[in-house]
């Protein structure tokens, strides 16, 4: 969505953050056990947050525990603690510690503390710096000042801009046009970006598209050309916020999934939120597949996404909810109503997992690490602000950790030695 100039204040008041929390994986490395069954060869990265979304980024290794009080521990103070992503031993997040617009790279110093490394500033003063880190030398980001229909390239090691990809040939001359503002995904040698052509209407922060459909532009990185545009009718608005990742690749099947949240103000049942996919070796939406929120709850949207071995992991609210107007049927959007669920992609049956309901203050997606899937939840009623881990093979769930008297948990990464 194109943002208006006041969007930063809006997102801090009613939106969220964080994640593709991309976890550093080392599934072949043997686990070293400490404190009973806590792996010693892992560093836990914890993003805690206060009521205004400010907070700290902590790195715990030898001091990991099942119950963690962050008081007195070293941390990197940030104005916006909304989770982040990892590549090797480096961390990345939207905006600097003081909230300058752009992409921040962080590392662990000799003592194990999170410290700032390099910063790639955005030319925009608005909260719009969507990004993707692929490798130490390959990254992509979106900056509206450089062109809404252009995707910028950068080097995640040096944090320097290295070029751009131009999608301007796809323009229809509409007031608000963007490519890659909310979806930047890479699979193989193809880059998949959301294409939104429309008009930002007064009183709305989502661009109204010219057609009631979603579109993905596919770019061939080998041939350096646009491979095509694929569309799907019956829903609108791929993605939701720049630091709230709503796409994912099933590591087992290599199918690529996206969330279309729909119009979050109107919540039209005819264009409801859906989860879509592009199958392995394909560049177009699978026309026979969609997971529709109204089959589970309505009014509502899908607002998290992780997929593993033909199972979709997302949150489904227990009641109808609306992002606008403070709630639906007396239930606020950020109440403890979002339940982590597993949806079978073939049967479309949803199974609620035994994990505390979440309030949607932290938007971190689940991630897979050493055979288990990790879920983050903040639940005021149960006084749970922590992580649960789920074994998809055995179905067993255990508590990874919980924070004690340390605010909300808005992000979690694991860095393996």
Tens digit of each residue's pLDDT (9 = 90 or more) over 225-264: 999 999 999 999 999 988 889 999 999 999 999 999 999 9
The structural domains of the chain, ordered by start, are: 7-416 (2.130.10.10)
How many percent of the chain have pLDDT more than 70? 91
Q: What is the DSSP code string of 192-234? A: EEEEEEEEE-TT-SSEEESSSEEEEEEEETTTTEEEEEEEEES
- Please write the tens of the pLDDT for every residue from 361-380: 988 999 999 999 999 999 99
Q: How many residues does the chain have?
A: 417
Burial class of residue 224 in the structure, from the number of CB atoms within 10 Å of its CB (0-12 exposed, 13-18 middle, 19+ buried): exposed
pLDDT at 330: 78
What is the helix (H) or strand (E) element at residue 340, kind and residue range?
strand 338-344
- Please write the tens of the pLDDT for every residue from 62-114: 999 999 999 999 999 999 998 999 999 999 999 999 989 999 999 999 999 99
Rounded Cα–Cα distance for residues 251 and 37 (Å): 26
Structure tokens at 359: 């309030």
DSSP conformation class of 23:
P
Instruction: Give the residues across from 379 on adjacent strands.
Output: 384
pLDDT of 33 over the 50 cut:
no
What end-to-end distance do the CA atoms of the chain give, in Å?
38
Tell me phi and psi for residue 396, to 5 degrees.
-80, 145
Q: Which of 136, 135, 134 is nearest to 157 (CA)?
A: 136
Rounded Cα–Cα distance for residues 377 and 122 (Å): 31
Rounded Cα–Cα distance for residues 279 and 271 (Å): 22
pLDDT of 360 over the 70 cut:
yes
pLDDT of 179 over the 50 cut:
yes
pLDDT-derived band of residue 125, with 50, 70 and 90 as boundaries?
Answer: confident
pLDDT at 141: 97
Structure tokens at 196: 């939104």
Rounded Cα–Cα distance for residues 309 and 291 (Å): 16
What is the helix (H) or strand (E) element at residue 10, kind and residue range?
helix 7-14
Rounded Cα–Cα distance for residues 225 and 219 (Å): 6
pLDDT at 30: 38
Angle (CA) 168 171 174, round 5°: 135
pLDDT-derived band of residue 127, with 50, 70 and 90 as boundaries?
Answer: confident
Instruction: Give the residues across from 385 on adjacent strands.
Output: 378
Q: Which whole number is the average pLDDT over 384-405?
A: 97
pLDDT at 6: 33
Mean of per-residue pLDDT scores for the chain? 91
pLDDT at 36: 58
Contacts of 66 (CB under 8 A, 6+ apart): 35, 38, 399, 400, 401, 402
pLDDT of 122 over the 60 cut:
yes
- Please write the tens of the pLDDT for every residue from 299-349: 999 999 999 999 999 999 999 999 987 678 778 999 999 999 999 999 999
Rounded Cα–Cα distance for residues 41 and 266 (Å): 48
Rounded Cα–Cα distance for residues 274 and 216 (Å): 15
pTM for this predicted structure: 0.91
Tell me phi and psi for residue 269, to 5 degrees.
-65, -25
pLDDT of 18 over the 80 cut:
no
Structure tokens at 358: 């979440």
Q: Which whole number is the average pLDDT over 206-216?
A: 97
pLDDT at 363: 87
pLDDT at 73: 97
pLDDT of 138 over the 70 cut:
yes
Cβ contact 333:13 at 8 Å:
no
pLDDT at 15: 36
pLDDT-derived band of residue 5, with 50, 70 and 90 as boundaries?
Answer: very low
Sign for the pseudo-dihedral over CA of 319, 336, 237, 219: negative
- Residue that wins the pLDDT comparison between 56 and 244: 56
pLDDT at 325: 76
């Amino acid at each position: 969505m194109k943002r208006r100039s006041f969007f930063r204040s809006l997102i801090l008041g009613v939106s969220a953050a964080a994640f593709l929390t991309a976890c550093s994986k080392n599934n072949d490395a043997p686990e070293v056990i400490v404190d009973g069954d806590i792996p010693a060869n892992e560093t836990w990265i914890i993003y805690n947050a206060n009521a205004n979304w400010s907070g700290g980024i902590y790195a715990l290794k030898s001091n990991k525990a099942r119950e963690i009080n962050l008081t007195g521990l070293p941390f990197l103070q940030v104005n916006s603690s909304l989770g982040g992503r990892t590549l090797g031993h480096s961390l990345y997040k939207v905006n600097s510690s003081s909230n300058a617009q752009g992409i921040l790279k962080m590392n662990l110093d000799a003592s194990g503390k999170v410290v700032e490394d390099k910063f790639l500033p955005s030319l925009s003063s608005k909260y719009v710096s969507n990004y993707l880190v692929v490798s130490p030398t390959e990254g992509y980001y979106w900056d509206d000042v450089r062109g809404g229909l252009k995707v910028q390239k950068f080097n995640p090691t040096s944090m320097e801009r290295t070029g751009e990809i131009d999608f301007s040939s796809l323009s229809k001359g509409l007031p608000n046009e963007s490519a890659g503002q909310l979806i930047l995904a890479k699979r193989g040698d193809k880059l998949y970006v959301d294409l939104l052509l429309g008009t930002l209407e007064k009183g709305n922060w989502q661009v109204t598209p010219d057609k009631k459909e979603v579109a993905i532009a596919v770019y061939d990185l080998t041939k350096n050309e646009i491979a095509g545009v694929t569309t799907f009718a019956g829903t609108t608005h791929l993605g939701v916020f720049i630091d709230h990742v709503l796409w994912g690749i099933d590591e087992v099947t290599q199918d690529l999934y996206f969330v279309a949240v729909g119009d979050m103000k109107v919540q039209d049942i005819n264009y409801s939120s859906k989860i879509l996919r592009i199958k392995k070796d394909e560049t177009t939406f699978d026309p026979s597949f969609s997971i529709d929120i109204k089959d589970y709850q309505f009014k509502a949207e899908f607002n998290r996404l992780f997929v593993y071995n033909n199972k979709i992991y997302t949150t489904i609210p227990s009641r109808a909810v609306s992002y606008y107007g403070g709630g639906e049927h007396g239930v606020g959007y950020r109440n403890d109503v979002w339940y982590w669920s597993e949806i079978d992609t073939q049967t479309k049956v949803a199974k609620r997992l035994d994990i505390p309901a979440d309030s949607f203050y932290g938007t971190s997606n689940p991630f897979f690490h050493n055979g288990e899937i990790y879920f983050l939840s903040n639940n005021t009623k149960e006084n749970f602000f922590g992580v649960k881990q789920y074994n998809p093979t055995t179905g067993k769930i255990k508590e990874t950790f919980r924070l004690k008297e340390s605010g909300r948990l808005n992000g979690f990464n694991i860095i393996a030695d």
